[in-house]
Every structure is written in C-alpha cells, then in structure tokens.
Homo-oligomer: A and B are copies of this chain.
Amino acid sequence: MEYQLNFNVNDKIYIRDPESSELGRQIVSKAIELIHEIGYEHFTFKKLALEIGTTEASIYRYFKNKHLLLIYILNWYWSYLEFLVMFQLKNIGDPRLKIKTVIQLLTSELPQNSGKMKYNVPYLNQIVITESSKVYLVKEIKEINQAEVFKPFKDLCNTIANIILELDAAYPYPHSLSSTLIEASHNQQFFSSHLKRLTDVKTNQEASVYVAAYLEDLVFRVLR
C-alpha cells in the first residue's frame, strides 16, 4: 500500500500552498538540498530558481521570502517529529522508556518513513541542527509569533513536557526542561561535531550517540 504523510502547515507561512503543484514541491525539496549544501546565509531564491530551472519570480509566488521558506521547512520537520513521537510512544507504558525513545528521536537521524519520503530527511536533520534557532532569534519575533508559525514547535515541546510530568508529576519546570532538551540536542550535536572542546565527546565517537547518552543521563538525574 502506498501512502504519503502530509502535515498541514499554517497557511500564513506561504502565499501559495507548495503542496498544490509540482513546482511548489520542487521548491521545498530543492530548497532543503540547497540550504543543506551552502547554508541558510548563502541561500538565495535566485540560486534556488537556477537549481530548479525556474525563475525567481515564480518562487516569490509561493513564499514571501527565504525566512518564511525556512519556517515552512522546519514546521514540516517538527510536525513529522511529533508524529513519530506519538506513533512510537503509542504502545509504551513505561514513562522512562518513553523519554528514552524521545531522546533517540531527537538525536538520531529520523527514520525515512517507508522509503518513499517527499523530502531528504537526513538533510533536514542537519538543517534543524544548524538553522532552526535562526527562525526565532530575530527582531520581528513578536509579529511572526502572532502569526502562530511556531505552533508545531510548541506542540512538540508540550508533548515532551507531558511525558516529563508522567515521570515526575511534581517537577516544576517541565516545559523549560523540554525546550532545553530540544535545543541542547541541537547545539550539543553541533558542538560535538564542530567545537568538541565544548563537550566531552571522545575522538571517533559518533556525535548523535554521544549526545543521546548525555541527554539521557541528564534527564534521569533530574527526574528520579
């Protein structure tokens, strides 16, 4: 049986729904590859248009600017991640095992569900690590937050906070611990790949494995 996972993204993020046409899907798909390759700062709509074989103007009919395109991509990722969390936790009763599963999902490359994924998930992973904080660390935070573009991220944070409360109902900072885990999973992976002295990763140790071990240890020291 063939199926495709779709996650609806807030329609304030785009001008035209990129899911609604081949060009739209190409824009998102190739943007992921290009941002992964050259980084968000060097990424431009002109380069993307050239890559796709279309024009800048056509891309502007889908997204107002590259910031919103990045938000779109990250929202897709966060929605997918929350889907995976929900899916994998469905039959788990033990909250300790739930937390372990969540940390695995936060640190390892996400499963390329069914092999027929729309987007390159390992690339997405790297983009999330390196670029995700750039969507909110801006002066316009208030306006973009009012457009509810961070809902998938907040939902994910909330889901994890609830699992934290299952483990320790009296813990006073479930949301902060949750957002700290998510953010730490990104920056510790970045650090253990590029700025090793900021971590305790061993040479030859895989970044994702190291970070998973660190975060698991951390959570179970906090909640015991």
Interface residues in chain A, defined as those with a beta carbon under 8 Å from any beta carbon in chain B: 38-39, 41-42, 130-131, 133-134, 136-139, 141-142, 145, 150, 153-154, 157-158, 172-180, 183-184, 187-188, 190-191, 194-195, 197-200, 214, 217-218, 221-223
Main SS of the interface on chain A?
helix
Shortest beta-carbon distance from A182 to chain B in Å? 9
**Complex Cα spacing A10 to B217, Å:** 36
Q: Contacts A174-B200, A183-B183, A214-B176 hold; do A195 and B145 have CB atoms under 8 A apart? A: yes
Shortest beta-carbon distance from A85 to chain B in Å? 16
A145 touches B188 (CB 8 A): no
- Chain B residues with CB below 8 A from A141, complex form: 194-195
Residue of B nearest to A38 (CB): B139
B172 touches A217 (CB 8 A): yes
